[in-house]
Structure 1
Amino acid sequence: MRILVTGAAGFIGAALSERLLARGDEVLGYDNLNAYYDVRLKEARLARLTPHPGFRFVRAALEDRPALEAAFAGFRPQRVVNLAAQAGVRYSLENPHAYVESNLVGFMNVLEACRHGKVEHLVYASSSSVYGANRKLPFAVEDAVDHPVSLYAASKKANELMAHTYSHLYALPTTGLRFFTVYGPWGRPDMALFLFTRRILAGEPIDVFNYGKHTRDFTYIDDIVEGVVRTLDRVPAGDPAFDPLHPNPGSSLAPYRVYNIGAHTPVELARYIEILEECLGRKAEKRLLPLQPGDVPDTYADVSALMRDTGYAPTTPVEVGVRRFVDWYLRFYEGTQN
């Protein structure tokens, strides 16, 4: 198939593009390579994709509507995976306008391009952060997500609402994936595992929020990519069991679905750090701090809907995933701290 992947220089986008190319798909990568984190890492991810004859790349932003429309017109994608976004909960407290421009205006442009390009299926990144102040665990797609605690979370919930509107009005099949704390080789430098590894190797203290007591459903990158591919290949139709008098937020009479995609195994942050220490052979000096604004104490994905509909089954325990990240990190940075 011809598949357009936005955010193709990003962590998940690059890994997904590699997987799609390996199975014989044509991929058009679209990314603005912004400076939210080290552009050299994004360029290194792209360098693994560009030699492939089935890969093409456009450097532009989602909010650049003429550039996006030209990419759709030239490539004529059959399916689209929208992973480009302004990421990060904490950064949304510092620069809220970036989230409106990329996650709202940019996503609107994607929806319009898919509609006019008669795309067969749009899969897009949502986030576990949409559960916000909800404390019922595990988080299920049937739960209400009306109390976001960061603008990032609000922008992702808005994406789900916007997608449903297009599924309803224009019969555009859409699937939203609520990602749960993705980690692994080629990961994002603003995420805890990357930050902790760099600081521990440099002999610097690490900031441990919520005193290490919060839990996260850490999900290994290969398991995430497997779930995205399975979802991409399953074009949703209207749910015949949908009851308008008792609506299920995860489905619709329209061709629309939302799924959690996680490991279904929450791990306490303190344990995560212990595993990292074991892999590095060093102890961390910890600065224990309270929970940060915008963060939630716990995440735990109920992935039963995704398992039922696609056969998704995460297989990578956190001990294995962290070891693979550390091995990659040491190779990539060759012992230097960048």
Structure 2
Amino acid sequence: MGESRTALVTGSAGFIGYFTCRRLLADGFAVIGIDSLSDYYDPELKRRRQAGLLQNAGFTAINEAIETPGLLADLFAQHQPDIVIHLAAQAGVRYSIDNPRTYLESNLVGTFELLEAARTHPPQHMLLASTSSAYGANTEMPYRETMKADHQMSFYAATKKATEAMAHSYAHLFELPVTMFRFFTVYGPWGRPDMALFKFTRAMLEGEPIDVYNHGDMMRDFTYVEDLVEAIRRLVDTAPERPQSPEDIAEGDSLSPVAPWRVVNIGNSQPVQLGEMIAAIEDALGIEAKRNLMPMQPGDVPATWADAQLLHSLTGYVPKTDIREGVQRFVEWYRDYYRV
């Protein structure tokens, strides 16, 4: 195995997708990347990421929406992927309030098409992106995978929690090994323009005030993108197996008692105050931010904090990039990309 495996990555021109494909290509995988290059944010950024991937002969780009009926079924039949990493989704909490149908189509219908394709041509392991937002109204921190997660606070989070349940049913019925991973506020070079780090950096360079929600009383478990990808890469080779009995499930493991399915947090395990992130940008730019203090936004949560013990027990790895180091790398990329 190893060097000749084929991976299918959805959302391959996205922020996380780009770094994931890059890593798989470096490890010798043939990578089929699917991305609709949607205009939710600047498609030029997606095209530039994709152009970088296309410089590798092992990468194939398909610019289509995953919810297109039959598209994924045809790709699975043609390429018989060994590994599937499902990152394509309509992202963003705020956008889901105004445009819920796009979340229904991309996140639910798109994931359904993927699961149906996998049912006919089963891969060795499917890894599907979920979100820390799935923990919803939980106030006990840090978040552990074995906690109940029933009270999602945005339609975005609700669709991602629904995909976990959908994937579980397919894992149970068709013996498809599935790992769901819940991301915690991913950031870094090539990041998304709708995320706070990008918006704050742009505003500060343009001399504009930054919108600081909940008057800055927010904590996020900021996770550097290459740490996230390292975790994903290690999880690729850690496919869950259906337990013989519930007694076989280790304490703290989210492994299903009835399916080869588990959910894994990928986070830095170090919640950071929003003010600390802003200070890191100020230091990296040499500019003091003008703050526009705002109330909490609908659907948002005041804090996230990952317990990453399960990730560590499965892979021996936990993310560890410090917020100041990660922000510095982002700012260097931003200045270079936009020539500012």
Q: Name the SS for the 1:40 alignment partner.
A: helix
Of 297, 304, 307, the residue aligned with 1:302 is 307
Q: How does 1:109-124 map to 2 (within 5 A)?
A: 109-124=113-128
Residue 81 in 1 paired to residue 108 in 2?
no
The superposition leaves residues 243-272 of structure 1 with CA deviations (integer Å, 9 ceiling, x where unpaired) of: 69xx98821131001000000000000111
Of 223, 229, 249, the residue aligned with 2:227 is 223
Tell me, in whole angstroms, the C-alpha distance in 2 between the residues paired with 1:241 and 1:273. Answer: 49
**Match for residue 275 of structure 1?**
280
Of 331, 334, 337, the residue aligned with 2:339 is 334
**Match for residue 318 of structure 2?**
313
The offset of 1:76, in angstroms, is 1.5
Q: Which runs of 5+ in 2 are unaligned?
A: none
The offset of 1:39, in angstroms, is 0.2
Amino acid at match of 2:309: S
Cα RMSD for the two superposed structures? 1.7
Q: Name the SS for the 2:246 alignment partner.
A: coil
The offset of 1:234, in angstroms, is 1.1
Residue 234 in 1 paired to residue 247 in 2?
no
Percent of pairs with identical residues? 50
Tell me, in whole angstroms, the C-alpha distance in 2 between the residues paired with 1:196 and 1:118. Answer: 43
Amino acid at match of 2:183: F
**Match for residue 96 of structure 1?**
100
Residue 158 in 1 paired to residue 189 in 2?
no
Tell me, in whole angstroms, the C-alpha distance in 2 between the residues paired with 1:65 and 1:162. Answer: 18
TM-score normalised by L of structure 2: 0.96
Of 173, 178, 183, the residue aligned with 1:174 is 178
The offset of 1:239, in angstroms, is 3.4
Amino acid at match of 1:56: T
Q: Name the SS for the 1:190 alignment partner.
A: coil
Tell me, in whole angstroms, the C-alpha distance in 2 between the residues paired with 1:259 and 1:315. Answer: 17
The offset of 1:240, in angstroms, is 4.8
Q: How does 1:5-16 map to 2 (within 5 A)?
A: 5-16=9-20
Tell me, in whole angstroms, the C-alpha distance in 2 between the residues paired with 1:189 and 1:213. Answer: 22
Tell me, in whole angstroms, the C-alpha distance in 1 between the residues paired with 2:242 and 2:117. Answer: 22
Amino acid at match of 2:67: E
Q: How does 1:233-252 map to 2 (within 5 A)?
A: 233-240=237-244, 242=246, 250-252=254-256
TM-score normalised by L of structure 1: 0.96
Q: Name the SS for the 2:212 alignment partner.
A: strand
Residue 185 in 1 paired to residue 189 in 2?
yes
Equivalenced residue count is 335
Tell me, in whole angstroms, the C-alpha distance in 2 between the residues paired with 1:168 and 1:248. Answer: 21
Q: Name the SS for the 2:127 alignment partner.
A: strand
The superposition leaves residues 133-171 of structure 1 with CA deviations (integer Å, 9 ceiling, x where unpaired) of: 110000100111000000010001101101110111000
Tell me, in whole angstroms, the C-alpha distance in 1 between the residues paired with 2:95 and 2:255. Answer: 31
Residue 137 in 1 paired to residue 145 in 2?
no
Q: Which runs of 5+ in 1 are unaligned?
A: none
Amino acid at match of 1:187: G
Please, which moves more after superposition, 303-312 or 3-12?
Answer: 303-312
Amino acid at match of 1:305: L
